[in-house]
Amino acid sequence: MKTLMLTALAFASVFVGADEPPGTLRPSWNNGLRLDNADGGYRFQFGGRFQQDMAWFSTRGDLDEDVPGIDDGTAFRRARLYVAGTFPNHLAFRTEYDFAGGEPGFRDLWLEARELPWLGNVRMGRMLEPFGLEGTSPNGFFTFIERGLPAAFTPFRNTGIQLRDHTENGGMTWTAGAFTHTDGFGDSVENPGHSFTGRFTVLPHYAEDGRSWWHAGVSASHRSPSDDQVRFRSRPESFVAPFFVDTGPLDADKTTLLAFETAATRGPVSLQAEIVRAEVDTLESETHPGGTRAFQGYYLYASCFLTGERRRFTPQTASLGRVLPQRDFLPAENGFGAWELAARYAELDLNDDPVAGGRLQSLTLGVNLYLTPNARISWNWVRADLEDSGEADIFQMRLFVDF
């Protein structure tokens, strides 16, 4: 794909000579197609990504009876196109559309004013709420095929306004926003909920041009749910699988989320962990008495690049970055891409009497082959243990391309 894009850029360069008129946009390739003018004031990026998953299951115990719909299968996890850009007056925008799942809808659709006095950067529109490390990092840069089990609590995208800023070297970042809960097209549902969400991070150590770093952060969210109902549920770290644990709809007037995160890299070896707790003020109903119900989850994992690469980190946004193979996959020229091994343990507890959402534990072993910075094949084996029910072995594979 990169060769094809460079060929297209070479043809485009014929029409952009040394005497280009003011405002002419010049194409370039930097892990995606870019257009910018001579002084860099106008910059635009066009791209997309697709992720196709395949999964095979083996179950034991009463799992098939307790969780119907466990079948081998394949699915497009994501199929997205986007346009993003910046203007000379410190304005930026992004719009992204997802076609996967048969229900297409907007993911990102926001406008941002940058480098404002006292405020930093102000973003308005539909965006990710600032919660957690995996919740705010690009979904193409995760080590495993799916986020860890605590993602059941992550708010993800809603419509609102967000303020964010960082110290000059990215040693600290802070983000806070107010949001109205919306559907996949950014429309308010009937009786929409509202939330206030913030994240604060520190980077105590960043050395060797990013080959050695340590990051930590905390996130919090106070939420008034849509239609006065809250629901937490999770698949066993496989998009093809059905939901294994589920609280069902809970009548509630507010929810509080609290998360802690940390990650560290030393050369090719990295560690990462997150823990999330949710407290729900439930209302009295025919099936449940009112009161505070607490649920929690965590994961921890380690990974190592066999070919010497490293996990990248962007200090200014406190998010994970793209893996860059030292040699792209081209066996004829002794290029075999970047190979990574990883292991993760995770737990999710959605039980708090009388709520019996279930308790799920998972052990995941992963192998990643980064063919180029824009293409990757991942294999994961997941041992999922649903308490008082049974176990499932899940072997899954993902094909991933972005540009």
Q: What confidence tens digit (pLDDT) does each residue in 30-71 have?
A: 777 888 887 767 889 999 999 999 999 999 999 999 999 999
Q: Where are the CATH 2.40.160.10 domain residues in the chain? A: 41-402
From first CA to last CA, the distance across the chain in angstroms is: 9
pLDDT tier at 19, thresholds 50, 70, 90: low
Give the pLDDT band (50/70/90) at residue 2: very low
In terms of Cα–Cα distance, which of 357, 339, 340, 336 is closest to 348?
357
Q: Which residues contact 302 (CB under 8 A, 6 or more apart)?
A: 269, 270, 271, 342, 343
- What is the per-residue pLDDT for 12? 45
Strand partners, 271: 264, 302
* pLDDT higher than 70, residue 153: yes
Q: How far is CA 241 from CA 146, 195, 261, 361, 396, in A?
A: 12, 30, 27, 15, 10
What does 273-337 look like in DSSP terms, one character per residue? EEEEEEEEEEPP-SSS--EEEEEEEEEEEEEEETTS----EETTTTEE-----SS-EEGGGTEE-
Q: What is the mean pLDDT of the chain?
A: 91
Q: How many Å apart are CA 146 and CA 299, to the nearest integer?
A: 12
pLDDT at 143 (0 to 100): 97
Residue with tokens 């090719």: 268
Identify each DSSP E strand in 353-389 by its residue range: 355-372, 375-386
Residue 1's pLDDT band, with cuts at 50, 70 and 90, is: very low
- Report phi then psi at 39, rounded to 5: -90, 0
Digit-coded pLDDT (tens) for 301-333: 999 999 999 999 999 999 999 999 999 999 998
Q: What is the pLDDT of residue 145?
A: 97
pLDDT above 90 covers a percentage of the chain that reads 76
C-alpha 133 chain-centroid distance: 8
Superfamily designation of domain 41-402: Porin (2.40.160.10)
Confidence of residue 403 (pLDDT cuts 50, 70, 90): confident
CB neighbourhood size of 185 (10 A): 11
* pLDDT value for 28: 81
102: helix, coil or strand?
helix
Antiparallel, parallel or unpaired: β 390-402 and 33-36: unpaired
The yes-or-no verdict on residue 372 having pLDDT over 50 is yes
Confirm whether pTM is higher than 0.95: no
pLDDT in tens, 178-228: 999 987 666 776 788 999 999 999 999 999 999 999 999 999 999 999 888
Point out the least confidently predicted range of 12-16, 285-289, 299-303, 312-316: 12-16
